[in-house]
Amino acid sequence: MIKVLIPTTLRSFTDQNSELLLEGGTVREVIAALADEYPNTKKAIFDENGVPRPFVNIFVGENNIKKLNGYDTELKDGDTVMLIPAIAGGAPESLIPEERAEKLTNDEIMRYSRHLLLKEIGVKGQKKLKAAKVLIVGLGGLGTPLAQYLAAVGVGTLGLIDFDEVDSSNLQRQVIHGTRDVGRPKVMSAKDSIKQINPLVKVETYNMMLTAENALDIIEEYDIVADASDNYKTRYLVNDACVLLGKPDVFGAMYQFEGQTSVYYAKEGPCYRCMYPAPPPAGLVPSCAEGGVIGVLPGIIGTIQANEVIKLIVGGGERLVGRLMVLDAWKMRFHELKIDKDPDCPICGKNRTITELEEYDYEEFCGIKKQREEEAPVESITAKELHRRMEAGEKITVIDVREPHERAIVKFPDAKVIPIGQLARRQNELDPDIDTVFICKEGKRSILAVNTLREAGYKGPMYNLKDGINSWAKDIDRAMPQY
C-alpha cells in the first residue's frame, strides 16, 4: 500500500481525510486510484485529460516526480506520495556588500549583544543588518512576526506595504495590532508597534496595493522582499518583480493548520513559477478568511521567514533556496521537499517570455477575469429581500454550504445543510420548481456552489445570498454573531 498525504486545502474533496492508503505500482496508478475513490477530486485537482493541474506538485519522498520518472515513477510498498498545491545550502555570501556595513553605537552594541556573541553573526553581521533594507508585503498574520522580529534584530530599514485596515477578526493572530487599532491602516498600526520595539529602525510605509505599475519602483529600493501576502495575484507579481530585479523573494503561505516557506531566488535557484507554473482555478482554494487559520501558525511560518531574511543579510547558514518547508501544525510534522529550477520557466528560464510587468495580465493569469465572467450570471439576493420573502411565506429552499464547525458558530434558520463537495450527487434533493438560495460566510463559496450545480446539469432557479450569513447578522438579526 502507498501512503498518500493530502494537504489541508484539498481535504474537502477527500472527506477531510489527511492520509490515504491506496494501491498502485506507479504514481499514475495511485493518482488514478485517488480519483476513483474520491470522484470530487477530478474537477479540483485534474484537468480534462486526467492530469493534475499545474498548481499541484507531486512528490515521492522528498523528490518531485518531475525529476524522477514523472507519472511512471515506480512505487514500492510503504512509499509516501505527497500532493503539494500552491496556498531553496553551503555558506552563501551576504547580500549586503562590505562597503554598506554601518558602524554600531554603544547603545546598539548593548541592544544587540546576544547577536554579537554568535560567531555566525557577530559585529560584522550586525553591521550588515543595520545597513539592510527589507520590504514586507502584507501586514497580516505573516507580516506580523516578520515586522516584529526583523525590527527587534536591528534591520535598518523596513518597508511596509498593505492597503487594508485593522479589523477585530485580525486580532486573533495579527499581534502587531491591538484593539485600539481597529479601523486604522495596518501600515500605520504596524509602524507604531515597530517604533515601540526598536526606535532605531527606519520605517517606510506604503498604504496602497502592490500593482504591476508600482512594484518595480518600490521593490528596487530594497535588498530583500518578504512575501506575506494572501492572494495568488500578489504572489506571482512579487516573484516576477524580484526575478527581473535580481532580488530574493522570502515566501510564506498558510491555511488552517498548514504552512509553507521557501526562498525563491532566481540567481541561485528556482523561482515561485518553477514550483507553481499556474495558480489554482479562482475560487477553488478558500482564503484564511473563509477557511480559518490557527492563531499561532503565522507566528511559526513568519519567524521562519524572518530567519531566512537574517541569513540572506549576514551570509552563511543553509538557505531555503531550492527547498520547500511544509508544516502541518496540528500533527506537528515538518516535511522538506526539493524544488528544481524549471528551464522552461517563463520568467527565469532559458527563453523568457515575461520581461515587462505592466504588459503581463495578472488578473487573467490568476483566473480573476474569468471568475468575474462566470460570476456575472449568478443572481444574488440581499438579506433584506430574502427576509421579506420568508416572512411573506414564500416557498424558498435555503442551502447552507458551510462546514459543520462553522455552523457550530452560528446556524441559519430553517436551512438545509449540503456541503459543496456533495452538491452534485445530492441535487435530487432540491426542487427545481422552487427558488434555492445558497449561503456561506461571505457569499463566495455560495457562488461556487451555484456554478457547481449548473455544471452538474441542475436547471432550477438558484440565488447567492449577497455577502453571506454575515450580512444577515448585520441587517436582519443583530443578535446573531458575525465571524
Q: Which three cell numbers stand for residue 430?
A: 432540491
Q: What CATH number is associated with residue 210? A: 3.40.50.720
Residue 272 — φ and ψ, nearest 5°?
-60, -35
Q: According to the model, what pLDDT value does residue 462 have?
A: 95
Is 315 found in the same domain as 218? yes
Position 472, amino acid:
W
The mean pLDDT of 62-69, rounded to a whole number, is 82
Residue 162 has pLDDT above 60, yes or no: yes
Q: Confidence band (pLDDT; 50, 70, 90) for 91? A: very low
Spatial separation of the C-alpha atoms in residues 259 and 326, rounded to whole Å: 6
Residue 82 has pLDDT above 70, yes or no: yes
Is 158 found in the same domain as 10? no
Find how far residue 312's CA is from the centre of its chain: 23
Q: Confidence band (pLDDT; 50, 70, 90) for 89? A: very low
Is 211 found in the same domain as 316? yes
The mean pLDDT of 157-173, rounded to a whole number, is 93
Asked if the structure places residue 96 within a domain, the reply is no
Is 384 found in the same domain as 366? no
Is 200 found in the same domain as 258? yes
Q: According to the model, what pLDDT value does residue 90 have?
A: 38
Q: Confidence band (pLDDT; 50, 70, 90) for 291? A: low
Asked if the structure places residue 25 within a domain, the reply is yes
Spatial separation of the C-alpha atoms in residues 271 and 46, rounded to whole Å: 24
Instruction: Give the domain-ending residue among 348, 371, 394.
Output: 371
Fill in the DSSP letter of residue 140.
S
The mean pLDDT of 327-338, rounded to a whole number, is 91
Q: Which of 41-45, 410-414, 433-437 shows the lowest per-residue confidence on average (mean pLDDT)?
A: 41-45
Residue 253 parent element (H or E): strand 249-255
Is 256 found in the same domain as 174? yes
Spatial separation of the C-alpha atoms in residues 87 and 459, rounded to whole Å: 33
Asked if the structure places residue 111 within a domain, the reply is no
Per residue in 1-14, pLDDT tens? 889 888 776 777 78
Is 286 found in the same domain as 144? yes
242, 271, 366, 440: the catalytic one is 440
Give the start-end residues of each E strand in 276-425.
Answer: 323-328, 333-338, 380-381, 396-400, 416-417
- Note whether 338 and 58 are within 8 A (CB): no
Q: Confidence band (pLDDT; 50, 70, 90) for 29? A: confident
Q: Confidence band (pLDDT; 50, 70, 90) for 373? A: low
Spatial separation of the C-alpha atoms in residues 265 and 320, rounded to whole Å: 10
Q: Which three cell numbers stand for residue 481?
A: 454573531
Q: According to the model, what pLDDT value does residue 284 have?
A: 57
The mean pLDDT of 278-295, rounded to a whole number, is 67
Residue 101 has pLDDT above 90, yes or no: no
Q: Specify the number of domains making up the chain.
A: 3
Is 284 found in the same domain as 168? yes
Q: According to the model, what pLDDT value does residue 445 have?
A: 86
pLDDT > 90: what percent of the chain?
A: 54
Q: According to the model, what pLDDT value does residue 433 have?
A: 93
Instruction: Give the domain-ending residue among 346, 371, 396.
Output: 371
User: Residue 22: helix, strand or coil by DSSP?
Assistant: strand
Asked if the structure places residue 257 within a domain, the reply is yes
Per residue in 297-312, pLDDT tens? 999 999 999 999 999 9
Q: According to the model, what pLDDT value does residue 50 have?
A: 66
Closest by CA to 8, choosing from 367, 403, 373, is 403
Is 282 found in the same domain as 421? no
Asked if the structure places residue 92 within a domain, the reply is no
Is 343 found in the same domain as 236? yes
Residue 283 has pLDDT above 70, yes or no: no
Does the active-site annotation cover 274? no
Per residue in 227-246, pLDDT tens? 999 888 899 999 999 999 99
Find how far residue 240's CA is from the centre of its chain: 17
**Angle, CA 310 vertex, CA 309 and CA 314 arms, to 5°:** 125
Q: According to the model, what pLDDT value does residue 88 have?
A: 27
What is the DSSP code string of 181-211? Answer: GTTSBHHHHHHHHHHHH-TTSEEEEE-S---
**Angle, CA 173 vertex, CA 167 and CA 175 arms, to 5°:** 80
Is 360 found in the same domain as 225? yes
Asked if the structure places residue 462 within a domain, the reply is yes
Asked if the structure places residue 74 within a domain, the reply is yes
Q: Which of 86-90, 249-253, 293-297, 347-351 shows the lowest per-residue confidence on average (mean pLDDT)?
A: 86-90
Q: What CATH number is associated with residue 64? A: 3.10.20.30
Q: What CATH number is associated with residue 426? A: 3.40.250.10
| Full residue range of the structural domain in which residue 36 is found | 2-84
Does the active-site annotation cover 348? no
Q: Confidence band (pLDDT; 50, 70, 90) for 145? A: very high
Mean pLDDT of the chain: 88
Q: According to the model, what pLDDT value does residue 105 have?
A: 94
Of 279 and 295, the structure prediction assigns the larger pLDDT to: 295
Q: Which of 45-49, 89-93, 139-143, 316-320 shows the lowest per-residue confidence on average (mean pLDDT)?
A: 89-93
Q: According to the model, what pLDDT value does residue 51 have?
A: 67
Per residue in 385-418, pLDDT tens? 999 999 999 999 999 998 887 888 999 988 999 9
Asked if the structure places residue 126 within a domain, the reply is no
Is 428 found in the same domain as 325? no
Of 116 and 10, the structure prediction assigns the larger pLDDT to: 116
Closest by CA to 286, choosing from 16, 85, 84, 87, is 87
Q: According to the model, what pLDDT value does residue 304 have?
A: 97
User: Residue 68: helix, strand or coil by DSSP?
Assistant: coil
Of 191 and 167, the structure prediction assigns the larger pLDDT to: 191
The β-bridge relationship of strands 380-381 and 462-465 is parallel
271, 274, 288, 366: the catalytic one is 288
Evaluate the CA torsion angle 53, 57, 60, 66 in order and state its sign: positive
